[in-house]
Amino acid sequence: MLLLIGTLPIEGLKLHTGEATLDNGKLKIGDKRFAVIRGTPAMMAACCAICNAYNLDNPYCIVAGDIGAGDGSSSIYNYLKDNLYLLEPEVCAFHYIKPVLVAHNKVVDAINKMNKKPILIADAGYMYVAKMAGFASFYDIFTPDLGELAFLADKESPHPFYTRGFIFHMEDKAEELIEMAYKEKNAPKVLCVKGKKDYISKDGKIVKIITKPDIPVLEAIGGTGDTITGMVAAFTYKGLSLENASIISAKLNRIAGKLTNPTPATQIVDIIERIPLSIEKF
């Protein structure tokens, strides 16, 4: 099973689970359809696009609505605590879930009950709590942007908002920040750092820097980093190594972006719909 988990910015949406597919520009999870916007939906939709292109099983998704109060995040934590070890996923990708240390650690306990530990991928809020809890090395891949990388590199920061100024202003020194994150044991085996340049590192060593195609306007389109996370999940489920899944996902994301002839008005769903063609152009 390929398992994707995260909150949606929908007030009142109760915990919802099911297989996911792309359906006429919408993300369909079980019997519900959701708009493909930045964040969790973009991650899940991009993953669906790769799974469909390679005839992989549809991902199984766990979502709940959360607009900041933490209610949806709490319901996801509780569900994972009680059910994750029963699902026995091979790959598990987490997106935005409100950081709660005790709840996160109970999820780790559930993972440790599994017969085989899945490949663990984290982005956004769940990546924050994994680092805050001191469990970064328990995971396999983090997919931070440069600001989040600065947070990982800062041993004292409990949240990206509190990243110390001198580190936050090192964003143009990605390679140094990557080295710091590993030194502080705040990084998993592989980092896929998303930005103007995409950096893929393994065990503290940079294995690839991706710069082409260079499409600056993509920076203004919300969700273009979330799509990489979803593709990484699909490619690891397909059987690629952690670093190769990250490299190919970053490259395909750029190609798909180029194929849309993007403007600042371009929506993330437009890019996701170009993923199959980007595979042909790869």
Q: What is the pLDDT of residue 251?
A: 98
Tokens 């152009």 found at: 281
Band (108; pLDDT cuts 50, 70, 90)? very high
Q: What is the pLDDT of residue 170?
A: 54
pLDDT digits (tens, 9 = 90+) for 139-190: 999 999 988 998 998 877 655 554 544 444 555 689 999 999 999 999 999 9
Q: Are 127 and 96 in contact (CB under 8 A)?
A: no
| DSSP state letters, the chain | -EEEEEEES-TTPPPEEEEEEEETTEEEETTEEEE--TTHHHHHHHHHHHHHHTTPPPPEEEEEE-SSSSHHHHHHHHHHHHHHHHH--SEEEE------HHHHHHHHHHHHTSSSPPEEEE-HHHHHHHHHTT-GGGSSEE--BHHHHHHHH-TT-SSGGG--HHHHTTTT-HHHHHHHHHHTT-S-SEEEEBSSSEEEEETTEEEEEE--S--GGGGGSTTTTHHHHHHHHHHHHHT--HHHHHHHHHHHHHHHHHHT---TT--HHHHHTTHHHHHHH-
Per-residue pLDDT, averaged over 84-103, amounts to: 96
Q: What is the pLDDT of residue 171?
A: 53
Name the more confident of 246 and 171: 246
Q: What is the pLDDT of residue 156?
A: 72
- Would the pLDDT of 82 be above 80? yes
Per-residue pLDDT, averaged over 256-268, amounts to: 94
pLDDT digits (tens, 9 = 90+) for 225-241: 999 999 999 999 999 99
Band (204; pLDDT cuts 50, 70, 90)? very high
| 152: nearest Cα among 119, 192, 112, 117 | 192
Query: Exposed/middle/buried for 274, CB within 10 Å: 0-12, 13-18, 19+?
Result: buried
Per-residue pLDDT, averaged over 68-90, amounts to: 96
Per-residue pLDDT, averaged over 262-277, amounts to: 95
- Would the pLDDT of 67 be above 80? yes
* Average of per-residue pLDDT values in the chain: 94
Q: What percent of the chain has pLDDT over 90?
A: 86
- pTM for the model stands at 0.95
- Would the pLDDT of 66 be above 80? yes
| Annotated domain spans of the chain | 2-281
User: What sign results for the dihedral spanned by CA atoms 139, 142, 147, 149?
Assistant: positive
Q: What is the pLDDT of residue 162?
A: 46
Q: What is the pLDDT of residue 93?
A: 99
Q: What is the pLDDT of residue 244?
A: 98
Q: What percent of the chain has pLDDT over 70?
A: 94
Looking at the domain covering 2-281, what would its CATH class be? alpha beta
